[in-house]
Amino acid sequence: MHGRLIEQGWGSALGFPGLAVDPDGERVGVEVFESGDLPEHWPRLDEFEGPQYERVVAEVHTPHGPVEACIYVLKAAPAAT
């Protein structure tokens, strides 16, 4: 996927910068996890990520082609400069 990694959000202090989706940004590596049980866990995952992040559907590229995936992005990411 394309975006920008930003030193914001609670994860940035742990070495995990926040993500802002940006079609003109750099290619950002992501991990894709699949599970039929995932929908029942979304509320708990949303709570874990907290209010600084939101879950969005985005197209990500895999070795088998593009797929739609839910990802967490910063809610108030600064505009690209």
pLDDT tens profile 29-60? 888 989 999 999 999 999 999 999 999 999 99
Query: What is d(CA 8, CA 77) in angstroms, rounded to the nearest whole number?
Result: 8
Q: CA-CA distance, 51 to 27, in Å (whole number)?
A: 25
Residue 14 inside a domain? The answer is yes
Is 35 contained in some domain?
Answer: yes
Tally of structural domains, the chain: 1
Work out the burial of residue 15: count CB atoms within 10 Å of its CB; fewer than 13 is exposed, 13-18 middle, 19 or more buried: exposed
Q: Has residue 79 been placed in a domain?
A: no
Q: What is the predicted pLDDT for the residue at 42? A: 96
pTM above 0.85, yes or no: no
Q: In whole angstroms, what is the distance from residue 51 CA to residue 21 CA? A: 17
* Whether pLDDT at 9 is above 80: yes
Q: Which domain holds residue 33?
A: 2-74
Residue 23 reports pLDDT greater than 70: yes
Distance CA 32, CA 67 (A): 9
Amino acid at 31: E
63 within a domain of the structure (yes/no)? yes
Residue range 57-81, pLDDT digits in tens: 999 989 999 999 999 999 976 666 6
Residue 58 resides in a domain:
yes
Domain membership flag for residue 81 = no
